[in-house]
Structure 1
Amino acid sequence: MTRPTFYLVTQSARVAQQNTVVLGGHLARFDRYVLSRFIMLFSFFALVLVSVYWLNRAVILFDRLIADGHSAAVVLEFTALSLPNVVKLVLPIAAFAGTVYVTNRLSAESELTVVQATGFSPWRLARPALYFGLLVAVIMSVLTHFLVPQSLGQLRQREVELSRSISAKLVREGVFLHPASGVTFFIREITDDGELRDVLLDDRRTDDRTVTYTAQSAYLLRVEESVRLVMVNGLAQTLNKETNRLSTTQFDDVTYDITAMVSGRVGRVERLYSTSTWRLLFDKDAVAEETKSSLGEVGEELHMRFQQPLLGLVAAMIGFSSLMIGGYSRFGVGKQIVFAIFLLVVVKLVEGSIVTPIRSDETLWPLIYLPSLVGFGMVAALLHSASKPFRPVRRRKDHDEVPA
């Protein structure tokens, strides 16, 4: 009896080992299948969201730049330079939407139920979602550390160049322009040699008086760093608002400095965003001085470039783990989807609540990673809840008992 028993046990162990190898191979293919679905739906949602967001941004830029007299090529250049930042903003949302959609389909078609019936826990089934989240995190790291700062740096440089453009600000015939607050400028005609004919310049920037210049012709000149308008054969009318007296002066030629009208400046936040990660990491004092920012703001910008890729991973894992707690139901997983959206909103609320303390105190920079820690804690709790092997069973009363 000993030998046959030992033989049967050995054969059973070999069969079990072979089944485990076969099942492991099938599960590896299942991982690749799920991962491919994640990537496909993620690409679709990312394309849709980027298109919508980018078109909205392009319309705003089109209205602003075309109104300032710039060409369509400039609008296209600005929208292209803003594209990496748009992609960075929508990738976590696309990762979340793709993960939720694929997991919902797998649950509705009972594919997850079949795989779970083989004995694999939700922790094991979360492997494709983890790989997918890491892929999204890598893509976002490339964007946050390299593409976005470079594109924003070029965008800032082009904005400075365009802000100094005289033709875009002033040289437009037949249109009343307002290059600065309290200033109105009009040109009836512009000749081929650059002469401005029938010019009107109304300056109301001073509280106690208004000066209006009219001239038969004018020329724009750039003298070193200043821009000047030379008006020829005209009339200057000065209205004293306190006495309501109007004085007029005819002139053969007069020079008017319009540097302040055609020069603009770019905000310090944009300059901080365009700074390289290397400088933020090793030269933060100089960056803070150049951008007129506090060390807390510099630290926030630096660590956010590491935190945002983690949010892409968190979004993917929350989308998967939230749908695993419901199990299979012929009524779908609508409640789990709403719950996943709620968890993502909670993570974003945590992210928004830590901004002010970090900017005021640079030593609190570890708080930047609190949203990711909260998100990973949610994922661990959800997967732990979904992997519980036993559920409480309600006792049923025996209604068939017959009293003695």
Structure 2
Amino acid sequence: MGRWLQFRVVGGGDRAVAMGSIDKYIFRTTLASFALVLISLTGVIWITQALRGIDLMTSQGQTIITFLGVTSLVIPALVLVISPIALMIAISHTLNKLATDSEIIVMNAAGLSPLRLFRPFLYATLVVAILVAFIAAYLAPDGMRRLKQWDAEITADVLTNILQPGRFAQLDQNLTIRIRERQPGGLLVGIFIDDRRDPKERVSIVADHGTVVKNGDGSFLILEDGNLERFEVGKHDPALVAFGRYGFDMSKFSNQGHDVALGIRERYLWELLSPPPDDPVYMQLPGQFRAELHDRFMAPIYPFAFAALTFAFLGAPRTTRQSRNFSIGGSILAVFGLRMAGFACSVMAMKSPLAPIIQYLMLATAIGASLWIIIGGVVIEPPAGLMETINRSNARLLRLFGRPVTA
């Protein structure tokens, strides 16, 4: 471990790096690439999901900070799915960088075995697996249940779903409300209220605009710049009052205390391990509980499987003249096939308790076969005849499009 390794970097001179520094260099490069890919992919998918809620934000009068906070609750669930894929891309990028700079060949010539080279990638994978395990056990279900609670409050809130512009909404017997327009920021314009709930009087309110305010005391429709007419039984003339600001109590129609039935994805890991025997969801869907539980268990295993498969295809030393296209394509197909088979087993696990066992065996086989390839120093390459056929096909395509064929 005290030896020094000399290798050349493209665009630079010779440099001496201690064997321990190689681990740190690969570890940092892999995790930095992983973070960049993870943030990029998660950000793109999150933006597409967040844009769907802009209309809801404007109709509810929520601030942009609240909107971003609510929509960000889905990020842990996205990270849970994207992390293994981001790790595979990061390892591929790091290995390709090392191969382009001829560093893998030099390290191999200096006595660094493929298994030894795999060690810093394994450390990076361990970090990702711990992150995924925490998200699967707590963070993702916590975000999903918070999002469901928020969505249930909006769905159950009559103020949101019944008060539609241009329509007379009967919130209660003998209570009718109409708004002319709903503007961005939750501003209600052209408000008319006809309240006949009290048999001794009738109240009609017309206001220029208003907003819905929710606090600890309840929900209130704050009316501004309007008139109130009160018709009392036995009196011929109504009482007319002009007001600048008036609060109309709407707490009865805003179900803030609405209980939310948690779905399976909103359960923490320990709630899946030992659900109450009388849980109605568990009694109705025991197979989905089983499938979700095993998915949580296998979530931190997938990074190890993806990392091992990627390194098995791309980690062997090759010269710059040897094409890596087949190895890159093979690693993508292997990872994609393993993940799709895992999804299929998750679906079958809802009906069969044997499906999770098959999924565990697939992951163990993928990791075991990859380690065998890494330890044995096996270089995965296509047959020579297949490569000749591919090269001839490429040459024909190049001639067909009029491009010169390079040797």
TM-score normalised by L of structure 1: 0.66
Q: Give the corresponding residue for 2:346.
A: 355
Aligned equivalent of 1:366: 357
- Using the alignment, how far apart are the partners of 1:355 and 1:126 within structure 2? 30
> Is the counterpart of residue 317 in structure 1 residue 308 in structure 2?
yes
Distance (Å, rounded) in 2 between the aligned partners of 1:330 and 1:105: 15
Preserved contact between residue 284 and residue 295 of structure 1 (Cα < 8 Å): no
Which residue number corresponds to residue 96 of structure 1? 88
Alignment CA distance shift 1:56-1:176 (3 Å): farther
Give unmatched runs, 5+ long, in structure 2. 6-16, 172-176, 195-203, 207-211, 213-251, 380-407
Match of 2:112, SS? coil
- Determine if the alignment matches structure 1 residue 271 to structure 2 residue 263: yes
- Assess, with a 3 A threshold, how the Cα gap between structure 1 residues 32 and 193 changes in structure 2: closer, same or farther: closer
- The yes-or-no answer on 1:342 pairing with 2:337 is no
Equivalent pair of 2:309/2:370 in contact (CA under 8 Å): yes
Distance across 1 between alignment mates of 2:323 and 2:181: 68
Q: 1:51 and 2:46 equivalent? A: no
- d(CA) in 1 for partners of 2:347, 2:253: 34
SS class of match (1:274): coil
Q: Which residue of 2 aligns with 1:251?
A: none
Decide whether the 8 Å contact of 2:137 with 2:268 is kept in 1: yes
* Cα 1:60–1:369 shift into 2, 3 Å: farther
1:22 aligns with 2:13: no
CA distance in structure 1 between the partners assigned to 2:160 and 2:122 by the alignment: 51
CA distance in 2, matches of 1:80, 1:297: 26
SS across alignment from 2:267: coil
1:197 counterpart = 2:188: no
Maintained 8 Å contact 2:181/2:189: no
C-alpha change, 1:340 and 1:309, in structure 2 (3 Å) is same
SS in 1 for 2:192: strand
CA distance in 2, matches of 1:189, 1:41: 49
In 2, Cα distance between equivalents of 1:137 and 1:175: 53
Deviations along 1:352-393, whole A, 9 cap, x unmatched?
Answer: 2212331013465323424422431342243255348xxxxx
Which whole-Å CA distance do the structure 2 matches of 1:67 and 1:153 have between them?
23
Alpha-carbon shift at residue 316 of structure 1 (Å):
2.2
- Structure 1's 383 and 176: CA in aligned 2 closer, same or farther, altered over 3 A? farther
Q: In the alignment, residue 344 of structure 2 is paired with which amino acid?
A: S
- Counterpart contact for 2:277–2:283, Cα < 8 Å: no
Q: CA deviation at 1:97?
A: 0.7
SS at match of 2:350: helix
Residue pair 1:122, 1:387 contacting (<8 A) in 2 also: no
Asked whether the 8 Å contact 1:164–1:262 carries over to 2, the reply is yes
CA distance in 2, matches of 1:186, 1:362: 55
- What displacement does 1:123 show? 1.4
The amino acid across from 1:308 in the alignment is: A
Deviation at 1:297, TM superposition (A): 1.0
- Three-state SS of the structure 2 residue aligned to 1:330 is coil
Structure (1 or 2) with the larger CA radius of gyration: 1
| Aligned residue identity for 1:281 | L
Shift of 1:326: 6.3
Quick check: 1:273–1:301 contact (8 Å CA) kept in 2?
yes
- Cα separation, 2, equivalents of 1:354 and 1:74: 38
Matches within 5 A, 1:37-116: 37-66=29-58, 72-116=64-108
Give 1:27 deviation, angstroms.
2.0
Amino acid at match of 1:51: G
Distance 1:78 1:324 in 2: 42
- The letter of the residue matching 2:327 is Q
Mapped to 2, the partners of 1:189 and 1:79 lie a distance apart of: 26
Determine helix, strand or coil for the equivalent of 1:360. coil
* Shift in Å, 1:73: 4.8
- Kept in 2, the 8 Å contact 1:322–1:336? The answer is yes
Listed one character per residue, the Cα deviations across residues 135-191 of structure 1 (whole Å, up to 9, x for unaligned) are 1100111111111111112111111111122222223434799x9xxxxx964379x
Q: CA deviation at 1:34?
A: 0.8
User: Partners in 2 of 1:58 and 1:275 — Cα distance?
Assistant: 23
- Secondary structure at 1:188 match in 2: strand
* Alignment match, 1:119: 111
The aligned residue for residue 3 of structure 1 is none
Tell me the amino acid that sits aligned with residue 192 of structure 2. R
- Note closer, same or farther for the CA distance 1:299–1:100 as it changes in structure 2 (3 Å cut): same
| Cα deviation digits, residues 95-118 of structure 1 (max 9, x gap) | 111100010010110111111001
Q: Structure 1 regions of 5+ residues with no counterpart?
A: 1-19, 180-184, 200-215, 221-258, 389-404
Aligned CA distance change for structure 1 residues 343 and 67 (closer, same or farther; 3 Å): farther
**Equivalenced residues, count:** 321
5 Å-filtered alignment, 1:220-259, equals none
Q: CA RMSD in A?
A: 4.6
Q: Structure 1 pair 313/193, CA: closer, same or farther in 2 (3 Å)?
A: closer
Return the match for 1:154 from 146, 152, 158.
146
In the alignment, is the contact (CA less than 8 A) between 1:271 and 1:291 conserved in 2?
no
